[in-house]
Amino acid sequence: MILNTVKNIRITDVIDIVVVSFIFYKGYMLIKETRAEQLLKGILLILLINVISSPSMLNLTMLSWILNNTITVGIISAVIIFQPEIRRALEHIGRSAFVDRHILEDEEVREKVITEIVNAVENLSKSKTGALIIIEQQTGLGDIVSTGTKIEAVVSAALLENIFVVNTPLHDGATVIRNDRIQASGCFLPLTNRDDMNKQLGTRHRAAVGVSENSDALTIVVSEETGTISLAVNGRLTRNYDKNKLKDILIRIMQHRNAKKLTVWEKVKGWLGKRTTK
């Protein structure tokens, strides 16, 4: 029987299984270590109990009726509960499939910009001046930029240090860097809802993780209490960077992202270009 089943498997069946497995894997990775992971476990438990209580098994009529109605309402509730995760998933698909722009592709410009940033961060760390710097990547941060004061100046260590001087108008907020320009300062960020973060970390760190959960931005934080340098990427916060280590990781992340294979959109444009030239 098993041999016959194996013989009847088509190549399309294998592709189907691989695609579905990949979707489930990517979906789990998006919700891993978030509140949605616990909610999903609860939903799976309810579904399991519903199967056990069904007429075909234990026939627990009242329990089965309650669970069936709960699941019906739960489909609508799940969309509301998982709204942040659904948004992240759609943004992730949009970034990976249909983005046709790259950030700081020119190595010389990238090196110069990152050098200015890490020099500023090092000096801010030494003086224990709090700072929050966002380096925009493929996800546009126009909504965040609009909450601050437009600057649109060339990135320089001196300007970044001046922005975060205590008691100046723009120091208490985030500074957004787009390509080789300081786009805006004093910007407001969404705070993460994660409850597993170190309780000693303040609002800046929660804001850094929050924006990195909703975009592919690279967010640098300097603690005003300890001068510790941290980096938030894809919802994860790593700490205790020095100037050289920070510069190295920023360059490697940007190089990796710019060296990825052609996006689906770029492939479509290339195919259309070939068709129009024939």
CATH number, domain of 207, equals 3.40.1700.10
More confident residue, 199 or 277: 199
Name the DSSP class of 188. -
Question: Does the pLDDT value for residue 173 go beyond 80?
Answer: yes
167 domain-assigned? yes
- CA 48 to CA 17: how far, in whole Å? 23
Residues 249 and 112 in one domain: yes
pLDDT tens, position by position, 23-41? 777 776 666 655 566 666 7
* Same-domain check for residues 33 and 57: yes
For residue 206, being part of any structural domain is answered with yes
Q: Which of the residue ranges 55-59, 91-95, 232-236 has the most confident prediction, judged by mean pLDDT? A: 232-236
Range name among 96-100, 104-108, 113-117 with the lowest pLDDT average:
96-100
Residue 163 lies in a domain: yes
The average pLDDT across 218-241 equals: 92
Let me know: does 138 contact 96? Beta carbons within 8 Å: no
Q: What is the pLDDT of residues 110-147, one digit of tens each?
A: 899 999 999 999 999 999 999 999 999 888 888 889 89
Look at residue 182 and give its three-state secondary structure.
strand
Mean pLDDT of the chain: 79
Q: Show the CA angle centred on residue 177, arms to residues 174 and 183, nearest 5°.
A: 85
One domain for residues 135 and 229: yes
- pLDDT (tens digit per residue) in 39-92: 667 777 777 887 887 777 887 888 778 777 776 666 676 666 666 666 666 665
d(CA 204, CA 73): 38
pLDDT at position 185 is 94
Other Cβ atoms closer than 10 A to 7: 7
Residue 7 lies in a domain: yes
DSSP state of 186: E
Q: Are residues 119 and 92 in the same domain?
A: no
Q: Give the whole-angstrom CA distance, residue 42 versus residue 258.
A: 39
Nearby residues of 46 by Cβ (< 8 Å), 6 or more positions away: 67, 70, 71, 74
**What pLDDT is recorded for position 244?**
92
Measured between alpha carbons, how far is 138 from 144 in angstroms, rounded to an integer?
14
Question: What length does the chain have?
Answer: 278
Q: Are 122 and 49 members of one domain?
A: no
CA atoms in the 13 A half-sphere facing the CB of 110 = 19
Q: Which helix (H) or strand (E) holds 44?
A: helix 35-52
Residue with the two structure tokens 């090092």:
122
Instruction: Evaluate whether residue 270 is within a structural domain.
Output: no
User: Is 185 in the same domain as 230?
Assistant: yes
Q: Are residues 70 and 203 in the same domain?
A: no
CB-CB contact of 212 with 219 (8 Å): yes
- Residue 46 sits in which domain range? 2-98
Do 80 and 218 share a domain, yes or no?
A: no
Give domain status of residue 267, yes or no. no
Asked whether residue 276 is assigned to any structural domain, the reply reads no
pLDDT at 140: 80
Looking at 43, 75, 98, which one is the last position of a domain? Answer: 98
231 and 141, same structural domain? yes
- What tokens appear for 115 in the block? 């050098």
> What are the distances in angstroms from CA 72 to CA 41, 65, 69, 84, 227?
18, 11, 5, 21, 51
Q: Is 217 in contact with 135 (CB distance < 8 Å)?
A: yes
What is the number of domains present in the chain?
2
- Structural domain contains residue 86: yes
Residue 101, helix vs strand vs coil: coil
